[in-house]
A and B are shown apart, each in its own frame.
Chain A
Amino acid sequence: MDAYLNLDHVSIDFPTANGAFRALDNVNLKINKGEFVSIIGHSGCGKSTVMNIVGGLYQATEGGVVLQGKEVNEPGPDRAIVFQNHALFPWLTCYQNVELAVKSVSGHRRNRKQIREWVEHNLELVHMMHAKDKLPSEISGGMKQRVGIARALSMEPKVLLMDEPFGALDALTRAHLQDSLMEIQSELNNTVIMITHDVDEAVLLSDKIVMMTNGPAATIGEILEVNLPRPRKRLELADDQQYNHYRSEVIHFLHERHARKVA
């Protein structure tokens, strides 16, 4: 039985001034439906590149990505992306940003009323209805990221891709958003790939943590299954033995076995 999403022997070369640069080498990853997978690794190892290949923004040089038995090699709303710096259109309000996505993805099968309801439903999901008519420049970074998530969810993607979605936020805001994300996840049970730098975030949210080796020619070093019961509560987990065990696994991988050679 094939996995829902399958990265099959994915390698990529970037053309540079002095020859091809092999960023990823032979990445193999199988993800099941409804799984929440984090990718963690040092800066520059190729996490974003993996995600961009799944998202179809980059083309793998060798190997490929198979989603539900079909190879994907161009971007599409079935693999919605939440960008690190939100990527909201600054001239559209929060509502209009989500609306643009809804209209272009499912405008053909929804009438006007249904479109409005669906946009508002997704904004409610991320608790942003109160600011729906504000421009991105008028709301905080955390709020922007919420709207970015609402926009991605509104596409009803098969896989939700998030590239360090909370990387630019302060710790408290980040915790809030992580809780929101877990709440949404328990309701929708999406298949998610999230890139992160944050060990706690990875353990708290994921079913699987994919740890990447350093580049060049980076690949997957280890995969850690996180078998913590849901719903997870950050306060209770703080003293949980199992949780701290997973945490130290990741830390050991990152800072012992694959410590970065140059800072």
Chain B
Amino acid sequence: MKDKLIYFLELTGMTWFVPVVRMLAGEAPLKQAQLLVQMIGLPLLAMLIFLMLWHIGAAKVITSLGQVPGPTQVWEQSMVLLDEHRAERERERQFYERQELRNAERLAADPDAEVRIRPFTGRDTFIDQVQTSLKTVFVGFLLASLIAIPIGIVSGLSQNLYSAINPLIQILKPISPLAWLPIVTMVVSALYVTEDPMFSRSFVTSAIVVMLCSLWPTLINTAVGVSSIDRDLINVGRVLRLNYLTTVLKIVIPSSIPMIFTGLRISLGIGWMVLIAAEMLSQNPGLGKFVWDEFQNGSSTSLSRIMVAVLVIGGLGFVLDRIMLTLQKVFSYDKTAIIR
């Protein structure tokens, strides 16, 4: 039980709790306490010092929107944002309730009456924006991975193909998302013309920009991982006369999984950074747009609200990275390798 729990905590990167578990299990309590201080105490202390410096520093800067908010104001605003979200949800619920009530009344009066439910068109709350952002980055990242991993594998296996596409990769890789955005916007509005679009155009644009920027780390890492497979393992495959597909599935992919995931992790990190910039400019609902709108809005609480968004962006980026790390550990054969 204890070992399973510890394994799970280590797998998910929540190593901070390992000493707590060990201590509760009565395992060398003094040593565990020391570890605890080191693993939780010190980061906590650093966090407190950071909050203090922020508090003191913020009070000294006066902008056109008033004083730069300190930790307390930001905390208050985050509560306000949550309340706004709840209020909006409540309005939505009431909106539908009213409609149903009205429809029921009409049906009672005249069973043949035509009834419709009109959709709720409230404004996006902060939480909605976060969800949109996560969805966009996920779609962009998924597209990028679906393209990058196969190309990476094939070009890792063929020296010729790799030489052919390497210059292209090197040129496309450093292009900033802001440079892609106008092109992607134009191309999407030219090609993505449907009567009833499943996704909004701005969503498609942002997702594609995310994809374009997060392709490269996965592609390059996959190719490097594949081309550095132990020759002997490939030779075993040749002796067994495995065909190309079987070789890829049984030998190439398992042995390059760690490198593929390293690439995926970097890609997701880049994708998340790029997304905020893309949303700001493409006006795709999301965290980037939230920040931009608040900036344009310029009320006295705007700066606090922007800071909430900034902290949420950081926090979610961290969580996404942790998820990738956990997946990497789950899928890699070498579970003992410590991957940071």
Q: For residues 49 through 103 of chain A, which have their beta carbon under 8 Å from a beta carbon of chain B? A: 55-57, 74-77, 79-81, 83, 85, 87, 89-91, 100-101
Pairwise interchain contact A80-B239, C-beta atoms closer than 8 A:
yes
Q: Interface code B58-73, partner A: CB below 8 Å = 1, 0 otherwise?
A: 0000000000000000
Q: For residues 95 through 117 of chain A, which have their beta carbon under 8 Å from a beta carbon of chain B? A: 100-101, 104-105
Complex alpha-carbon distance, A137 and B241, angstroms: 26
Complex alpha-carbon distance, A104 and B249, angstroms: 13
Output the least CB separation between A44 and chain B (Å): 18
The answer to whether A100 and B240 touch (CB under 8 A), given A135-B333, A137-B334, is: yes
Complex alpha-carbon distance, A1 and B39, angstroms: 76
Pairwise interchain contact B239-A81, C-beta atoms closer than 8 A:
yes
Task: Decide yes or no whether B250 CB sits under 8 A from chain A.
Answer: yes
Pairwise interchain contact B241-A75, C-beta atoms closer than 8 A:
yes
Q: Which residues of A contact B195 (CB under 8 A)?
A: none
Complex alpha-carbon distance, A155 and B233, angstroms: 16
Q: Interface code A123-140, partner B: CB below 8 Å = 1, 0 otherwise?
A: 000000000000101000
Residues of B in contact, count (CB < 8 Å):
19
The answer to whether A76 and B334 touch (CB under 8 A), given A87-B235, A100-B250, is: no
Complex alpha-carbon distance, A17 and B240, angstroms: 33
Q: Which residues of B contact A105 (CB under 8 A)?
A: 240
Complex alpha-carbon distance, A91 and B250, angstroms: 10
Q: Which residues of A contact B334 (CB under 8 A)?
A: 90, 137
Task: Decide yes or no whether B20 CB sits under 8 A from chain A.
Answer: no
Pairwise interchain contact A87-B233, C-beta atoms closer than 8 A:
yes
* Least CB separation from B243: chain A residue: A104
Task: Decide yes or no whether B94 CB sits under 8 A from chain A.
Answer: no
Q: Which residues of B contact A100 (CB under 8 A)?
A: 240, 250
* Least CB separation from B331: chain A residue: A91
The answer to whether A77 and B255 touch (CB under 8 A), given A100-B250, A135-B333, is: no
Pairwise interchain contact A101-B232, C-beta atoms closer than 8 A:
no
Chain A interface residue count: which class? 20 to 34
Of the candidates A74, A85, A89, A135, the one having the most CB atoms from chain B within 10 angstroms of its own CB is A89
Pairwise interchain contact B240-A79, C-beta atoms closer than 8 A:
no
Q: Which residues of B contact A55 (CB under 8 A)?
A: 239
Complex alpha-carbon distance, A101 and B246, angstroms: 12
Chain A interface SS verdict (over half): loop
Pairwise interchain contact A89-B254, C-beta atoms closer than 8 A:
yes
Output the least CB separation between A253 and chain B (Å): 30
Question: Which residue of the partner chain, among A77, A135, A137, contacts B239 with CB atoms under 8 Å?
Answer: A77
Pairwise interchain contact A79-B239, C-beta atoms closer than 8 A:
yes
Output the least CB separation between B256 and chain A (Å): 11
Pairwise interchain contact A57-B246, C-beta atoms closer than 8 A:
no
Pairwise interchain contact B236-A91, C-beta atoms closer than 8 A:
no
* Least CB separation from A97: chain B residue: B236
Q: Which residues of A contact B232 (CB under 8 A)?
A: 83, 85, 87
Pairwise interchain contact B333-A91, C-beta atoms closer than 8 A:
yes
Pairwise interchain contact A76-B239, C-beta atoms closer than 8 A:
yes
Output the least CB separation between A125 and chain B (Å): 19
Q: For residues 137 through 180 of chain A, which have their beta carbon under 8 Å from a beta carbon of chain B? A: 137, 155
Complex alpha-carbon distance, A55 and B239, angstroms: 8
The answer to whether A77 and B238 touch (CB under 8 A), given A87-B232, A87-B233, A90-B334, is: no
Complex alpha-carbon distance, A90 and B332, angstroms: 10
* Least CB separation from A83: chain B residue: B232
Complex alpha-carbon distance, A85 and B230, angstroms: 11
Q: For residues 176 through 203 of chain A, which have their beta carbon under 8 Å from a beta carbon of chain B? A: none
Q: Which residues of B contact A91 (CB under 8 A)?
A: 254-255, 257, 333
Pairwise interchain contact A89-B239, C-beta atoms closer than 8 A:
no
Pairwise interchain contact A101-B240, C-beta atoms closer than 8 A:
yes
* Least CB separation from A79: chain B residue: B239
Complex alpha-carbon distance, A100 and B240, angstroms: 9
Q: Interface code B257-273, partner A: CB below 8 Å = 1, 0 otherwise?
A: 10000000000000000
Pairwise interchain contact B241-A104, C-beta atoms closer than 8 A:
yes
Complex alpha-carbon distance, A258 and B164, angstroms: 47
Of the candidates B236, B255, B333, B334, the one having the most CB atoms from chain A within 10 angstroms of its own CB is B236
Pairwise interchain contact B333-A90, C-beta atoms closer than 8 A:
yes
Complex alpha-carbon distance, A74 and B238, angstroms: 9
Q: Which residues of A contact B254 (CB under 8 A)?
A: 89, 91
Complex alpha-carbon distance, A236 and B190, angstroms: 88
Q: Which residues of B contact A80 (CB under 8 A)?
A: 239
Pairwise interchain contact A89-B238, C-beta atoms closer than 8 A:
no
> What are some 23 contacts across the A-B interface (CB < 8 A)?
A57-B235, A57-B238, A75-B235, A75-B239, A75-B241, A76-B241, A77-B240, A77-B241, A81-B236, A83-B235, A83-B236, A87-B233, A87-B235, A89-B250, A89-B251, A89-B254, A91-B254, A91-B255, A100-B250, A104-B241, A104-B246, A137-B334, A137-B336
Binding site for B on A (CB under 8 A): 55-57, 74-77, 79-81, 83, 85, 87, 89-91, 100-101, 104-105, 135, 137, 155
- 8 smallest beta-carbon distances between A and B, as pairs: A91-B333, A87-B232, A75-B238, A104-B240, A91-B254, A75-B239, A83-B232, A87-B236
A sample of 5 more A-B contacts (CB under 8 A), given A89-B236, A89-B251, A90-B255, is: A57-B238, A81-B235, A83-B235, A87-B230, A135-B333
